Amino acid sequence: MKVFHNALNQKFSEYPQFGVLRGVKVFLTATNIAAPFAGSLMAEMGAQVLRVEAPNIACTSRGTTMCAQQHRNEYSITLNTATKRGQELFMKGIEWADIWIEASRPGSYDKRGLTDEACWAVNPKLAIVHVSGYGQFGPYKDKASYDVSGQAMGGYMYVNGMSPTSSPMKVNPSLSDYMTAYNACICALAGHIHALKWGEGDSCDIAQYEHMFKLLENYPSVWFNKGYPKAGEPVPYRTGNKHDVSACFSFYDTKDGSAIFVGMVGQGPTARGFPMIGMPAPGSAEKVPGCPEGADTVDGKCTGYPLFDPRGARADALLEKFCAERTAAELEKIFEEASIPCQKVFGPEDILNDPQFEARENIAEWEDQVYGPMKGIGVINKFKKHPSDIVCAAPLFGEHNREVFKIWGLSDAEIDDMYAKGEAAQWSAADTARNKMLKEWGYFWDPERQAKRIGLE
């Protein structure tokens, strides 16, 4: 496990230079997951990320362990862009940044005169990314949305379910949000590269549902060319843990109460694995016991058995029996020696004690301002020359207001006036716990010690 001795209160003006994105400045005006997680990804690669929240509406994740995990290496200020002073400070952020990512209702910034064109007037090279549920234009642009909205409209839920006659099923946790964040990160950096190469910024309009639609592989091309089920008809793609075409490509229960993925589909050793479960290799012309006449052979080019076919049903049943009679460890040894893809389904204990996770330092320990010492996900993406890092804990709400505003030209008296008028706000660790009811809602795992640590009364 990697232990990070990071600074709890990293000064904005002294951000360390590290990673492949060192020197890149990101201005992030967004809450929840879809856009903020893009900032998280860039922050661990060395970008300096300044996150903005409204003084009276903190992000819903604020104070939770998700916030502690996903907003390390970032800075926090609060701004009310409905006020003249808030708009002036917003433009200071735009002038400072290389990238601006926002996730408000479409048109919100335009109404306040903070258009893309106004931003480019002060920073021509700015890369802008607008993230929303349905995009900046179109008849649905003003609809509110969550992660599930993107999964539902994009068609992703339609293809997922436990059986062809079951209801559609969403994918946890927040797949649409996180995939949209990765796309926002890609588009932000693409815009920044374009600005570096051509001297001109651009603006990208990202709609969550579109990204989920983009991930549907060949399903749309099949639907729109070959046809699709009518309303109320079975949906063949909803096959739960099973592959929607091939047998023996699924998850199987084991003797020791675990589950294991086996992918006995493909050329070479993978296809030759069938005899070990009592099934002829596909294309061998050997009769398949129990199958009707004419269904005992397959094309020699085939590398598996169809799922909805007597041969596929028999093969899947045999593999199910094979796995049920052996432990997960025994199965992994057998299949790995035969070069057949397999993987036990990991739970928390497996992850914590696994040598692969240990070797790649996938689990980290760091000091959080609210929770104290905590464990979570480490740094991914292993750069050789300029590695990613965790250099500071997630910031408290508005923690860097005074430092950043003074850098942008405000006096202490002007900043005090912002606080007095509600144009800025700031929470201590104890404020965070009180405002988000962390102790009452069970977020603390050692309530008395953690509450005492931050002075929570």
Tokens 């001795």, residue located:
5
> Is 79 in contact with 46 (CB distance < 8 Å)?
no
Those residues with Cβ within 8 angstroms of residue 402's Cβ, 6 or more apart along the chain or in another chain: 412, 415
Given 98, 110, 116, 177, the catalytic residue: 177
- The Cα–Cα gap between 336 and 341 comes to 7
- The Cα–Cα gap between 401 and 393 comes to 17
| Residue 343, beta-bridge partner list | 261
Q: Is 177 a catalytic residue?
A: yes
- The Cα–Cα gap between 368 and 393 comes to 5
Where are any strands of DSSP class E within 31-87? 48-53, 74-78
Q: Whose CA is closest to 365, among 354, 374, 356?
A: 374
Chain centre distance of CA 280: 41
- The Cα–Cα gap between 87 and 4 comes to 37
Structure tokens that stand for 36 in this block: 């903020």
- The Cα–Cα gap between 150 and 222 comes to 21
Helix axes 175-198, 36-44, angle to 10 degrees: 60
CA angle, corner 422, sides to 417 and 96, nearest 5?
Answer: 75
For 187-199, the DSSP string reads HHHHHHHHHHHHS
Residues marked active site are found at 177
